[in-house]
Amino acid sequence: MTTTKADPPAAPLLSYAIRTTPDPLIHSPADGELSLAALHLLISNPLPTPVRCSRITIVLPVGTIAQDLAQTGVGVVATATPHTWSVVAVQEDVLIAVPQSGTAEFVLSEYGREDQETASLVIKLTGVKVSRKPGTAWVRIIEHSARPGEPEIDRDDPRMLRVDKSFIRARRDLPAGRTGAAQARATAADEEADSTANLTARLGTATSPDAKPATLVPRGTPVVLTWQGPAGEQTLYSTAHPNGIPIMFPHATSPLERDETFMVKTSAGGLDRYDSVTVAVSRPLMPGLRADSLVGAPALTLDAVSVTMAGPLNAQAVIKAEKTCTIDGAVTTTSATTPSLNSTGAITASGANPEITAGKLSVTGMLQSDDTLNATRGRVQIFGQPIVEDARKVTDTAKTDGFLVGFTNDAKVTLNAPNAKAYQSGTWGYGHATAALPVHRGDTYVGEVDQDRGGQFVFYPMGNS
């Protein structure tokens, strides 16, 4: 294909229209973050004959003066519809759109015909950082195109598209008695909602020049929400305010206890938009936690909560319980030290040399030893307070196991229990008689002297009744 250069400069064959989001476009504030905008470039054929096009060059005015549209060209993202076109940035302020097939043909845009779509190209530039000064900027378009039967040429008489950057309009003074919400509604009546805004969480105060964006903050730290975007009625939704509360910016939050997402609804010009920002909190207070695994944590402190574990707890170091440790099931351990151990079930020591060491061992049930029971220090106390009766005959029911012992002089002493009997006769005038009988708890025992002589009977209980 032969390419020649027209002389004098040729005018573009296609028609171009541009609009901005937001509309009207507001310049960025004098300091702080730059406002973001989007450009929508509509390209179509106004001629009755087709137009072939192999390249469209877009030149953005970039700089710091009032005639510049963008403060910088870095960060601009370009997309094309239909997707058979590609848009690339060859330098900071120059973008080139080319058809993937090499050449595209624009036919007459036949508005009103339902059997044919409008033959057009839409190029969208997002992430445009608007310059800080108000004024008028011109976007330059250079087209490489031709009519049927003609060679394609660079049409150097560029099409200039005007973009105005308006002043930031102050809120109008309202009659006395108007609320802040009424003022926001009055302002929103003549402002349209745009699709580009900045909702930011910052540290410090909203007016601090060094207020940094808050991404990760310590627990208990409040943040300040700031807003750059259309004015209107704004409602904040958060964990503390699930139903929303009206706010004005800057807005200071309460101290954060855990990760928080703030969502703001802005109602302006009959439209609602939603923006959100999330702040992470280190060492957060968790209202509830389910951990499938916990690896590498130096310490885990749980205050006034109940911990339920459905699986095993494997501890390779000391487990310390400063208060009561209640276990409904069995406890299996090779070594355990505790100042107090209360068990409603069995305590079993097994192994090669099992050992249970206790400063004090209280047993409310049976204590059974299949081997020797040794007391290496002190004495083993197994008897309770003896019950002594001086009488010729006694009878009672044993409250514990024990021994019944009877004494008499010059007579016969007889001891009876349900399954046992013992007696002893003394020598008349020369000796005394003593008899002893083991008695089980609950048995009724009888001690008796056969003559009208005094006797003494003592029940020695094994344990305390």
* Same-domain status, 88 and 19: yes
Element (H, E) at 428: none
306 inside domain: no
Which of 241, 260, 282 is the endpoint of a domain?
282
Would residue 270 count as lying in a domain?
Answer: yes
Q: How many CA atoms lie within 13 A of 242 on its CB side?
A: 1
In a domain, 8, yes or no: no
Of 113, 82, 116, the closest CA to residue 100 belongs to 82
CATH number, domain containing residue 430: 2.60.120.380
Query: Is there a single domain that holds both residue 275 and residue 408?
Result: no
Q: Pull the structure tokens for residue 52.
A: 């072939």
Among 261, 282, 303, where does a domain finish? 282
> pLDDT tens string for the chain (465 positions)?
455 554 667 888 899 999 998 888 989 888 888 889 999 999 988 888 888 899 999 999 999 999 999 999 998 999 998 888 999 999 999 999 999 888 888 887 554 443 333 358 999 999 999 999 999 999 999 999 888 888 888 887 778 999 998 865 433 333 444 333 333 333 333 333 344 567 887 886 655 656 778 888 899 999 999 887 767 788 999 988 999 999 988 888 999 999 999 999 988 766 778 888 899 999 888 776 677 766 666 667 766 667 777 777 777 777 777 777 777 777 777 777 776 777 777 777 776 777 777 667 777 666 666 666 666 666 666 777 888 888 888 888 988 888 888 888 766 777 677 777 776 776 655 567 888 889 888 888 888 888 777 788 888 898 776
How far apart (Å, rounded) are the C-alpha atoms in residues 364 and 368? 12
Residue where a domain terminates, one of 251, 282, 313: 282
Q: Which two tokens stand for residue 132?
A: 């800080």
From CA 465, how far away is CA 462, in angstroms rounded?
9
161 and 24 in a common domain? yes
Residue type at position 304: A
Which residue in 262, 287, 265, 282 sits closest to 274, CA to CA? 265
State whether 49 and 111 are in the same domain. Answer: yes
Backbone torsions φ then ψ of 145, nearest 5 degrees: -155, 175
The answer to whether residues 93 and 205 belong to one domain is no
From CA 446, how far away is CA 422, in angstroms rounded? 11
Interatomic CA distance for residues 138 and 159, integer angstroms: 9
Q: Is 445 exposed, middle or buried (0-12, 13-18, 19+ CB in 10 A)?
A: buried
Task: Write the DSSP assignment of 49-112 as a string of letters.
Answer: S-EEEEEEEEE--BSSSTT-SEEE-TT-EEEEESTTEEEEEEETTEEEEEETTS-EEEPP--TT
48: domain CATH number is 2.60.40.2230
Q: Check whether residue 112 and residue 23 sit in a common domain.
A: yes
Are 113 and 249 contained in the same domain? no
Cα distances (Å, whole numbers) of residue 321 to 16, 326, 327? 78, 10, 12
Q: Are residues 124 and 89 in the same domain?
A: yes
Cα end-to-end span (Å), the chain: 119
